[in-house]
Chains A and B, each alone.
Chain A
Amino acid sequence: MARIKVHELRQKSKAELLNQLKDLKAELALLRVAKVTGGAPNKLSKIKVVRLSIAQVLTVISQTQKSVLREAYKNKKFLPLDLRPKKTRAIRRRLTKHQQSLKTEREKKREMYFPKRKYAIKV
């Protein structure tokens, strides 16, 4: 079987990818049996290739799934937890930029009427 090219995989549909996954897994099962029953070396070396291609297909599947889900939730108010930014626990609990910038009416008025003046000394 030819080596799998990931950029070709990305153009396939989900059903095709799942089919390909099934084929690869079946092939892997055969190779594993061959390994146990003393198979030819060319078969044994193929195991690594097949395992990698299975991983590639699964990666493509999950990547496209994630991106589609993000599109679906784009303008919604609440996101599922794994689509929210992960960062660190402490960062997620900090005040947001907007929350930090909020001021009381009193403070706003003060700033408006008594702004910080800058003076220069004329030599």
Chain B
Amino acid sequence: MAPKADASKKADPKAQAAKAAKAVKSGPTFNRKAKKIRTKVTFHRPRTLKKERNPKYPRISAPPRNKLDHYQILKFPLTTESAMKKIEDNNTLVFIVDLRADKKKIKAAVKKMYDIQAKKVNTLIRARWNQEGLCQVDSRL
């Protein structure tokens, strides 16, 4: 056994040495996947997973009611002399309208409340808290 051991010992270290030399030449195996070559100077965040919202509880218990409904938009019609003139001459109605209303909403509100199809709506802000909406009505009416 002694000589065999000797022989194996002799063979082993030689084999080991050869293996070691090979490893050193080829580099450690876990670096085998080549180092990424970067051709640009900047580093941009790689695309990562984006999950959709899935809340465990709604932040507000119920959605708030719409506070700008038709009744709130059209406050009342104007009946000044100049407004009356507009009714006769230009076929338009003049309303005092909520400040937060836009022309589209005014058109829809007039349609809903008075069944009038407005051809064109002009608006102007009268004071910091109210707005005047001039609705031009269809000439047929």
Contact = CB atoms under 8 A, between A and B. Distances in A.
B61 A32 contact: no
B113 interface: yes
Interface string A60-92: 000001100100010011111111000000000
A80 B79 contact: no
B25 interface: no
Please tell me the size bucket of the interface on B: 10 to 19
Interface in A27-50: 28-29, 32-33, 35-37
Interface residues of A, number: 21
A50 B95 CA distance: 21
B77 A65 contact: no
A19 B62 CA distance: 20
A33 B77 contact: yes
Interface of A: 25-26, 28-29, 32-33, 35-37, 65-66, 69, 73, 76-83
